[in-house]
Amino acid sequence: MNIQFIIADEFRPEASGKVTSIGVYPGNYIILLKPQQGTPDTVLPMLERVAFLITISELEGSHNYSGKILDPNGNSVIDPKSNHIKEGVQPFGEGITIGEGMSHSFVFELKPFFIKTIGRYKFILYVDDTPHEFTFDIRKQP
């Protein structure tokens, strides 16, 4: 199995199977710009949106996919009160079959993305019940 993970402001799936990306975060680093002068330190940073592109290939058969995002303190950043979420895990698709020589992409978007802490976040993708962990960092502009 091969899994690719990319973070951007937005991903747009196209009819041809390609995915257009806008505002890719190189190296999986989200750098927060310095707040405008006069902004209180107590104001939590917020990004209008953050999108995740997960592409899976070299995996045959039918599988279930879900994921969760944890902040540096281990807390879920996905609203656990959503109807579709149990314990912070968001389902992406059930019974999806990827044929030989094919791939499947999932776009997962958080709008808005509230940042409660700076540091290393974890995106955990579950293929059936097997976790695959990817990390990304949120940092302040130096």
Handedness of CA 67, 72, 74, 79 (dihedral sign): negative
**Topology (CATH) of 2-35+45-140:** Immunoglobulin-like (2.60.40)
Query: What percent of the chain stands above pLDDT 90?
Result: 41
β-pairing verdict for 50-57 and 103-110: antiparallel
pLDDT tier for residue 83 given thresholds of 50, 70 and 90? very low
54, 105 contact by CB (below 8 A): yes
Distance (Å, rounded) from C-alpha 16 to C-alpha 45? 36
Residue 88 has pLDDT above 70, yes or no: no
Helix (H, G, I), strand (E, B) or coil at 13: strand
Of 53, 59, 42, the closest CA to residue 8 belongs to 53
More confident residue, 80 or 94: 94
Where exactly are the structural domains of the chain? Answer: 2-35+45-140
More confident residue, 104 or 25: 25
Distance (Å, rounded) from C-alpha 77 to C-alpha 90? 11
**Distance from the first to the final alpha carbon of the chain:** 38
Phi-psi region of 31 (alpha: psi -120 to 50; beta: other; left: phi over 0): beta
Provide mean pLDDT across the span 12-40: 87
Instruction: Provide the pLDDT for residue 41.
Output: 66
